[in-house]
Amino acid sequence: MKRNKFIKSALSVLLACSFLLSGFPFTAKAEIPKVRTEAGKISFEITSTAATSSIKYRTVGWTVRRDQLCSNTTPKQCGDPRSGQHASFLDQQVRQVGQEPNPPIPGQPVTTYYEVSEALVTEGMWKAGMGDIKDNDDLYLYAIMVSIDGKGNVRKGPFYTLDEIKRAEPWAHPDDLDDYFGIHVPYRSAEFPVDVIAKTLGGKVIQNPEVTFQKGKYKIGETINHEFPETIEDNGKTYTIVRSYLSPKQDPTRKDWLQEDPETNPKVRTRSFTVALGGTDAIAEYAENNPVKAIYQKEDGTKLKEVDKGVFATGDEANHTFEGQITSGSLMEWR
């Protein structure tokens, strides 16, 4: 009888403990994240309490957009940042670059520093259709989060929305998570290369440093002016400009703002453009000049007459009508 009472008492204690544990909110208060862009990369720092037994949330990445999806109301409401034009960076794309103090002191604040490299940010925004962004344009960042246990092991996630991470665990202060979504960050551009390239119509680059060179490095949106030469002398050959265009370095197959007909269109040679996200190639295509002459000669090879028809690009058509007879000196020669 006593044994049964002991078992019942033990079960009651276990049930009570289970109830208390399941109903107790997890504490995970952290400071507002400090996020910025600089030289095209995303840098952020997060201060939280070093490892304890508590369940906490962790930022493992960011979704970047050009529009604000969150309200100013209480409670805060945010849309799903993955719908529409966006770029997400997480896991191996986010690199830890520092920590203070190091090593952390359990139960004490620790600040961890992270960054997403310029190359990844540039590529991600380009693929997301944000190639027209300019320096100082507005960006809005939305955290990608997981919940972790006291040992740093992931319990749940990743979560891309504010509503998802709030419902992931019974947080003691769920509204603290509001600060991680819809963060306004001005885009600070890196300096991207602008290259001037002269090519033949066949696509071969004319490797002459006077016509093929890096013009410089510039922030996105800066205006660049350049004038291509009408003709190029290289390795004993003469080339004449035919067309010019701009190719973003993120997609070199594109021929944007194509200009042709240099005889009547001065924009073929004189270009004014803004630097694309990732950099720009300003390209001019040139035709090799070929002098064409009509030569009259006898069967024995004696030259009687020569008519200069001008200079033609390779592949162009040249026309000439030979006369039935010509006069050479005092003699009339029959064709």
Contact 228, 198 (CB under 8 A): yes
- Residue 285 shares a structural domain with residue 295: no
- Residue 177 shares a structural domain with residue 207: no
Domain range for 316: 291-334
Listing DSSP states for 261-289 in one string gives -TTT-GGGTEEEEEPPTT-EEEEEEEEEE
- Residue 207 shares a structural domain with residue 322: no
CB atoms within 10 A of CB 77: 15
Q: Is 73 helix (H, G, I), strand (E, B) or coil?
A: coil
Residue 8 in any domain: the answer is no
User: Which pLDDT does position 1 carry in this prediction?
Assistant: 47
C-alpha dist (Å) from residue 224 to 39, 63, 126, 130, 257: 19, 32, 21, 20, 14
- Residue 130 shares a structural domain with residue 51: yes
Between vectors from CA 278 to CA 135 and to CA 282, what angle results, nearest 5°? 105
As beta bridge partners, residue 224 has 273
Last residue of a domain, one of 141, 164, 186: 186
Residue ranges of the chain with pLDDT lower than 50? 1-3, 5-25, 27, 330-332, 334-335
Last residue of a domain, one of 186, 221, 236: 186
DSSP 171: B
- Residue 96 shares a structural domain with residue 164: yes
- Residue 246 shares a structural domain with residue 300: no
- Residue 227 shares a structural domain with residue 118: no
Residue 4 in any domain: the answer is no
Residue 262 in any domain: the answer is yes
Residue 101 in any domain: the answer is yes
User: Which pLDDT does position 26 carry in this prediction?
Assistant: 53
- Residue 145 shares a structural domain with residue 30: yes
- Residue 48 shares a structural domain with residue 61: yes
Using CA atoms, how far apart are residues 312 and 144, in angstroms rounded to an integer? 61
- Residue 33 shares a structural domain with residue 169: yes
Contact 35, 44 (CB under 8 A): yes
Residue 150 in any domain: the answer is yes
Last residue of a domain, one of 186, 203, 224: 186
Between vectors from CA 45 to CA 40 and to CA 49, what angle results, nearest 5°? 165
User: Which pLDDT does position 53 carry in this prediction?
Assistant: 62
